[in-house]
Amino acid sequence: MQLVLKSEILKYLGHKDANSVDEYTNSLIDRALLEVEQQSKFKYIYEKFDEPLPFMKDVSGYQNYLGDSSFLLCATTLGVQIDRYLQRLELKDMAYATVFDATASVFLEAKADEFEKNLEFGNLGFRFCPGYSGTSFIDNQEIAKILNAEKIGITFLESGMMIPLKSMVGIIKIGENARKSCDGCAAKCDCGFRKNGTYCYKND
């Protein structure tokens, strides 16, 4: 599992593969993996829906993603302690803070994936986060409100920024047409990984 996480962290840091990374950077990633796990308090909340919700209607990005599938709304976080620890790092060691930040992002995705594998809904698609495919970032707050995500500590600043920073909300379609693939991802056209010649997920 750690090797898989390291591979994804390297992508976040702009490296195509492990061969392009020096020993020092590798040691920072190993340290960050340990400390992110120690500092994080992973929480996840979700709810199933069978019909589009008001904020989704007449928005092509959601319609194209969901089709006629049922779906989950989800919210997940690593907790505020990760933010506090990262802020302290930024004051004294920006190089390590950068690695820690990337590691926390990858760790959150991995923990969410692991949690979702244990849900009994059959095939689940990628998490579709507001902001993809012309949808609005403001919908993050709508999803959080529906789920009462404050129960797991997620709130928003007036600017719309999510707190804790290492949190995410999203939509996950359910069903036979929900199988994950890079080519079926809603973010494919604007994917930074693809532009750099890498992928965040294995292609079909």
pLDDT tens track for 26-59: 999 999 999 999 999 999 999 999 999 999 998 9
Q: What is the pLDDT of residue 170?
A: 96
Cis previous bond, 54, omega within 30: no
Among residues 172, 180, 200, 169, the alpha carbon closest in space to that of 43 is found at 169
pLDDT, tens only, 1-15: 677 788 899 988 888
3-state secondary structure the chain: CHHHHHHHHHHHCCCCCHHHCCHHHHHHHHHHHHHHHHHCCCEEEEEEECCCCHHHCCCHHHHHHHCCCEEEEEEEECCHHHHHHHHHHHHHCHHHHHHHHHHHHHHHHHHHHHHHHCCCCCCEEEEECEEEECCCCCHHHHHHHHHCHHHHCCEECCCCCEECCCEEEEEEEECHHHCCCCCCCCCHHHCHHHHCCCCCCCCC
Cβ proximity of 81 and 40 under 8 Å: yes
- Which tokens go with 94? 């920006």
pLDDT higher than 90, residue 77:
yes
* pTM value surpassing 0.95: no
76-85, 119-128, 194-203: least confident range: 194-203
> What would the mean pLDDT of 98-109 be, rounded to a whole number?
96
Q: What is the pLDDT of residue 7?
A: 87
